[in-house]
């Protein structure tokens, strides 16, 4: 998606050669009109799939998901990383965390995901794929149909994209980074 690639080039910041900061427009400061463009593109890609629910994970997937949900006309469900005491009957799965270290639990209330649902997962990044696989596991537990995943930025030099696609999950990434280093970012088209 050209507009997203251009934005990454313009406002993204590469530090230490291999960390891409996009907190100017994607996950700290957020551009709602970019999110709307991304939502429209995801709607085009998954047009015929009769999506009934968007599933994401707090917190950096929420903004994109809520704006994209306007284009799909469906609710967003945001998996929780902490089990609020009022969240009673939940699907639970474990997600390995690169940034946090270790493994953490992720929760979704059973009430809001059921076998009739056709689910699109949306998230900001796909790197090792752990969060995405955790969300896919929750969809499986619920008996709902996982239609696919819409990702803002995929790092193709990490293993997640291949892992997830090898499981037969359709992944559509709006910007795919083939490589990045001090010379800049190369996108895969």
Binding site for a second copy (CB under 8 A): 15, 19, 21, 23-25, 28-33, 35-36, 58-59, 62-67, 69-70, 73, 75-78, 80, 84-87, 99, 108-109, 111-112
> Shortest distance, CB of residue 165 to a second copy, whole angstroms?
28
The dihedrals phi and psi of 75, each to the nearest 5 degrees, come to -75, 160
User: By C-beta, is 22 or 164 nearer to a second copy?
Assistant: 22
> Shortest distance, CB of residue 28 to a second copy, whole angstroms?
6
> Shortest distance, CB of residue 51 to a second copy, whole angstroms?
13
Give the integer Cα–Cα distance in Å for 152 and 14: 17
The dihedrals phi and psi of 131, each to the nearest 5 degrees, come to -65, -40
Give the DSSP per-residue string, 68-86.
HHHHHT--EEEEBSS--TT
> Shortest distance, CB of residue 13 to a second copy, whole angstroms?
9
User: By C-beta, is 76 or 149 nearer to a second copy?
Assistant: 76
User: By C-beta, is 79 or 164 nearer to a second copy?
Assistant: 79
> Shortest distance, CB of residue 108 to a second copy, whole angstroms?
8
Give the integer Cα–Cα distance in Å for 39 and 180: 26
The two tokens of residue 36 are: 């709307």
User: By C-beta, is 8 or 30 nearer to a second copy?
Assistant: 30
Half-sphere exposure of 85 (CA within 13 A, CB side): 0
Q: Which of 67, 38, 73 lies closest to 151, judged by CA?
A: 38
User: By C-beta, is 58 or 162 nearer to a second copy?
Assistant: 58
């Amino acid at each position: 998606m050209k507009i997203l690639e251009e934005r990454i080039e313009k406002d993204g910041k590469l530090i230490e050669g291999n960390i891409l900061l996009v907190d100017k427009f994607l996950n700290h400061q957020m551009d709602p009109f970019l999110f709307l463009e991304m939502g429209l593109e995801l709607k085009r890609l998954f047009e015929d799939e009769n999506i009934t629910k968007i599933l994401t994970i707090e917190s950096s997937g929420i903004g994109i998901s809520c704006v994209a949900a306007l284009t799909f006309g469906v609710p967003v469900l945001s998996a929780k990383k902490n089990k609020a005491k009022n969240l009673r009957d939940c699907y639970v799965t474990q997600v390995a965390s690169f940034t946090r270290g270790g493994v953490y639990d992720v929760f979704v209330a059973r009430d809001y995901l059921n076998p009739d649902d056709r689910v699109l997962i949306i998230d900001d990044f796909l790197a090792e794929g752990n969060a995405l696989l955790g969300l896919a596991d929750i969809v499986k537990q619920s008996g709902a149909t996982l239609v696919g995943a819409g990702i803002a930025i995929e790092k193709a030099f990490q293993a997640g994209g291949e892992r997830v696609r090898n499981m037969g999950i359709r992944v559509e990434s709006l910007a795919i980074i083939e490589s990045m280093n001090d010379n800049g970012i190369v996108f895969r088209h």
